[in-house]
């Protein structure tokens, strides 16, 4: 049986035209987790779909403690009052956060801003009553706070962990398809996930030949200088044209599927590969670094084209895994160990899905949904 979301709450801002939603798909041990996104296009339906994806993601994360939720605010995150809007949204959602709904950051929302606001309004890191009295978790919350300020490869831990996990998933998927040498990659989105993923892929020998941001698409078939582009990256994940070399080609960002490559990585918005453009996909592999970037209609088209997909909730789980292993004391609070834990888990899931799909003649998404269907539907903390 496919479950409907447990609860969805709607919010209307009193000072702007912003509107927001909080959806808890399922509680496990009276707790659920997921990010909050802010973008003008956010809808209630999108937040509910994302919350369901989080439920599957926590199952893929082997979590015994957490179900899936999601927050969303329909507002432009680039506006100067965006953080004020976020603050009013979190105040409105405070009763639910206190009841075990743990919301963090996502597209357009920095996790550090969420934590700062929750600290300001007296909530702190969201936790159930039982968690607040468990000595292991009390220490885990302290470890998590320390981890938030730690770096790995020059990135803050929360800024790199999802991207590095996605890069590991890409590498595992590419090898599962029988490829011996690293391929050519195009990444759509140059925020924390896209940028850190490019860095990890570059280290593994993959050639990043295209990067798209909100303003355009830069292409170079010889490979982009990823380290330089990351170093000069502007706030909110925008490329700096001052870092482009003469041989780079600047194109419309809508042309990201036209670039000659082996692998494409949607790492920003949902539904970017749909029935209108799925036939334009030239790559052999899609790695879903963003949540729900491929529509169901596109899935059918891609299946007929023989394009493989590394599925979102098995691939981009780094951001929730890092929280899980630090707060619940599963992995020591050491950046290298936590990165290895996420990469190993993503590789294991990816290998399992690809092998089972091949054996049973199913798509990767069909197999992933079978393997990682949420099976606990608990209640909030009360």
User: Chain centroid to CA 183: how far?
Assistant: 23
Q: Who's near 234: CB < 8 A, 6+ residues apart?
A: 240
Instruction: Answer yes or no: 300 catalytic.
Output: no
Give the residue among 87, 113, 118 at the shortest CA–CA distance from 102. Answer: 118
As beta bridge partners, residue 309 has 286
Distance CA 286, CA 308 (A): 6
Asked if 159 and 338 touch (Cβ cutoff 8 Å), the reply is no
Q: What residue has token string 């670039």?
A: 259
Give the residue among 88, 51, 86 at the shortest CA–CA distance from 66. Answer: 51
Q: State the catalytic residue, choosing from 70, 207, 284, 308.
A: 70
Q: How many CA atoms lie within 13 A of 361 on its CB side?
A: 0
Asked if 342 and 317 touch (Cβ cutoff 8 Å), the reply is yes
Give the residue among 217, 289, 227 at the shortest CA–CA distance from 252. Answer: 217
Q: What residue has token string 């482009």?
A: 244
Q: Who's near 38: CB < 8 A, 6+ residues apart?
A: 72, 73, 75, 76, 77, 82, 85, 86, 107, 108, 109
Distance CA 43, CA 134 (A): 37
Pairing between strand 285-287 and 308-310? Answer: parallel
CA dihedral defined by 135, 140, 142, 143, rounded to 10 degrees? Answer: 140
Catalytic (active-site) positions: 70
């Amino acid at each position: 049986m496919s479950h409907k979301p447990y609860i969805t709450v709607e919010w209307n801002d009193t000072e702007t035209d912003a509107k927001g939603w909080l959806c808890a798909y399922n509680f496990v041990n009276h707790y659920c987790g997921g990010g909050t996104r802010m973008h003008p296009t956010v809808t209630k339906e999108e937040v509910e779909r994302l919350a369901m994806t989080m439920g599957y993601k926590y199952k893929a994360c082997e979590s015994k403690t957490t179900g899936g939720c999601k927050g969303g605010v329909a507002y432009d995150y680039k506006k100067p009052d965006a953080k004020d809007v976020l603050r009013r949204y979190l105040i409105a959602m405070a009763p639910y956060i206190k009841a075990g709904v743990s919301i963090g950051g996502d597209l357009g929302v920095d996790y550090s801003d969420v934590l700062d606001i929750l600290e300001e309004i007296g909530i702190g890191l969201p936790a159930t009553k039982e968690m607040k009295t468990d000595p292991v978790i009390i220490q885990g919350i302290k470890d998590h706070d320390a981890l938030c300020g730690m770096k790995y490869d020059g990135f803050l831990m929360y800024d790199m962990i999802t991207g590095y996990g996605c890069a590991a998933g890409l590498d595992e998927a590419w090898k599962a398809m029988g490829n011996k040498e690293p391929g050519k990659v195009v990444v759509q989105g140059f925020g924390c996930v896209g940028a850190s993923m490019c860095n990890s892929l570059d280290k593994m020998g993959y050639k990043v030949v295209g990067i798209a941001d909100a303003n355009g698409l830069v292409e170079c078939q010889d490979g982009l200088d990823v380290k330089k582009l990351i170093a000069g990256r502007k706030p909110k994940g925008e490329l700096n044209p001052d870092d482009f070399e003469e041989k780079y080609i600047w194109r419309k960002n809508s042309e990201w599927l036209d670039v000659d490559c082996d692998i494409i990585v949607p790492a920003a918005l949902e539904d970017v590969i749909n029935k209108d453009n799925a036939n334009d996909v030239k790559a052999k592999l899609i790695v879903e670094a963003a949540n729900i970037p491929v529509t169901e209609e596109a899935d059918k088209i891609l299946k007929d084209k023989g394009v493989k997909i590394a599925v979102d909730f098995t691939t981009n789980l780094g951001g929730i895994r890092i929280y899980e292993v630090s707060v619940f004391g599963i992995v020591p609070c050491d950046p290298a160990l936590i990165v290895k834990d996420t990469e190993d888990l993503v590789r294991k899931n990816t290998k399992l899905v690809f092998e089972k799909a091949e054996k049973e003649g199913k798509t990767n998404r069909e197999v992933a949904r079978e393997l990682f269907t949420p099976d606990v539907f608990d209640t909030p903390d009360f």
